[in-house]
Amino acid sequence: MVCPLDWGIGHATRIVPIINILIDKNFEVVIASDKRPLAFLKTEFPDLQFVKFEGYNITYPEKGSMVGKMFFLLPKIIFKIFSEHKKLKKIIRKHQIDIVFSDNRYGLWNKKIPCIFMTHQIMIKMPRNFKFLEKFLYKINKLIIKKYDECWIPDNQSSPNLSGDLSHKFPPSEKSFFIGSLSRFNDQSTKKTKDKKTDILALISGPEPQRSIFEEKILSQLKNLKLKSVVVQGMPGNENPDNRDENVKVYSHLNSKKLSEYILNSKLIICRPGYSSIMDLAALNKKAIFVPTPGQTEQEYLAKYFHEQKIFYSVKQKDLDIRKAIENSKNFSGLSIINDYSLLKERIEYWKMN
């Protein structure tokens, strides 16, 4: 059973190569998910078996830090973790599950069968006034992860790496394995085409209400720029374009093949610095402008991390001026990482044999 976290669809997109390798290794895969991640994975793997597995249903505040809201939501999150732990036992019995793969779902461990946890956040970034809590939260996180048989970290152990402090500041547990960067975009047959040359590709993602706020800001600015633009709303369910403007084409969702073509054939990407998006950009060697979700400390850290290295330009959502951002991003290099998945295949082969 494979189950991703439900905060946006990034956790669902990055498990695509894992599912593909499991299928190649003759595993019978059951996908457990809900809402947008479930809709996305059904489009990618229509022939697999699916189990509706309710997520944490966390929303982001319109203003202020997510950390503050998380503090008040902590009882709900803890309840959800215990609830999913109990529900997992029933799913294991009903579907005869032999091994569980959890992408950042903290309650999916079981004493009777192997359970694997994947995360790029061994430590959790805190706002400036709460930095003193980072080491304490790291220790709590480590204790929970120890309940699993293994922890997979989707990054390189050495430089260059994509997660910075998130996976490298503090030592992971002895049962942790760096498996390299993951991306659903690894089809070498995807080529650049002349007929889809786009100036700006905006990828809208993340939990509400910030997803919609970001989309509105992007669309309002693009319609005033004479640039050939494509906006993907990150809402699986419809791939028909909305040509609301002569220069702006809007898609609710694109499957991985179509999206990779648009990314490759776009001069510049505007998106959130979600970790899955960063891995996708590196896999396709594309330049981007990052607009972190306000109050989301992980994205704010990653935006700053890559900005300081002159790899990806970043700007706060409230300060976003697309015309200026395009000009400022010209001196940023982008990043290229080739994924061979040898480390990932090694871990999957190990569990197949055991």
> Are 291 and 118 in contact, with CB atoms under 8 Å apart?
no
131-168 pLDDT, tens per residue?
A: 889 999 999 999 999 999 999 999 999 888 999 999 99
Residues with Cβ within 8 Å of residue 284, at least 6 apart in sequence: 183, 185, 260, 263, 264
- Lowest-confidence pick of 47-51, 255-259, 297-301: 255-259
Q: Between 275-284 and 297-308, two packed helices, what is the crossing angle to 10 degrees?
A: 30
The percentage of the chain sitting over the pLDDT mark of 70, rounded to a whole number, equals 90
pTM flag (> 0.85): yes
Q: Write the DSSP symbol of residue 173.
A: P
Close Cβ partners of 195 (under 8 Å, ≥ 6 residues apart): none
The residues, any chain, with a CB within 8 Å of residue 83's CB and separated by 6 or more, are 107
> Is residue 64 scored above 60 in pLDDT?
no
Gap between the Cα atoms of 53 and 3, Å rounded: 8
- Map residue 273 onto helix, strand or coil: coil
Query: What is the C-alpha to C-alpha distance for residues 324 and 289, in angstroms, rounded to an integer?
Result: 11
User: What average pLDDT does this structure show over 206-219?
Assistant: 88
| Residue of 15, 8, 1 lying closest to 183 (CA atoms) | 15
Query: What are the structural domains of the chain?
Result: 2-182+339-353 (3.40.50.2000), 194-331 (3.40.50.2000)
Q: What's the CA gap between 181 and 70, in Å, rounded?
A: 28
For residue range 65-79, what is the model confidence (pLDDT) as tens digits? Answer: 556 556 666 777 788
3-class SS letters over 32-43: EECHHHHHHHHH
Contacts 24+ apart (CB under 8 A), 236-239: 236/9, 236/36, 236/39, 236/40, 236/42, 236/43, 237/39
For 49, the 3-state DSSP assignment is strand
Are 131 and 301 within 8 A, CB to CB?
A: no
- Give the tens place of pLDDT for each residue, 5-40: 987 788 999 999 999 999 999 999 999 999 889 999
Question: Quick one: pLDDT at residue 58?
Answer: 62
β-strand partners of 178: 153
Q: Which amino acid is at 79?
A: F
